[in-house]
Amino acid sequence: MWGEKDKKKDLGFGQEFYTFLGKGVDFKGKAQFEGTVRVDGNFEGEITIDDTLIIGESAVIKGTITGGTIVNSGRIEGVITAKSKIQLLKPAVLIGDVHAPIFAMEEGVYFQGECDMGSAPKLEAPIDNKG
């Protein structure tokens, strides 16, 4: 179920989370979080988070996600917007559009949708070596 903010849990890769939606839990609606959150259950609706959202392999999310960093190993159907980055880890499935300055996928991930990374960085003009 939902964890308490003062009970930190180790994620196994050097990061801790404060809120947890466990495997077997179904939630429908709108949720707004602060800090780092891990979802292993089913969520349908809208998630807004100011920091990091970690989606475990057993998680299924249908809806809209807006956050700082999104790390997905589960299944998402919807639109994701991240201020920092979106990272898809095997065996993630993402069906929907992503908006983030950084978008990374491991081999073995399934992605179907559109990716918007914002404006392209400006390249410097080539140097003219003709003298």
pTM (two decimals)? 0.79
Tell me how far apart the alpha carbons of residues 46 and 43 are, in angstroms, rounded to a whole number. Answer: 8
Q: What is the pLDDT of residues 86-123, one digit of tens each?
A: 999 999 999 999 999 999 999 999 999 999 998 877 77
Tell me how far apart the alpha carbons of residues 25 and 67 are, in angstroms, rounded to a whole number. Answer: 22
Q: What is the pLDDT of residues 75-96, one digit of tens each?
A: 999 999 999 999 999 999 999 9
Beta strand segments in 1-91, E: 9-10, 16-17, 19-21, 26-33, 37-39, 42-49, 52-55, 60-72, 75-88
Q: How confident is the model at residue 6 (pLDDT cuts 50, 70, 90)?
A: very low
Identify the residue whose tokens are 């997905």: 72
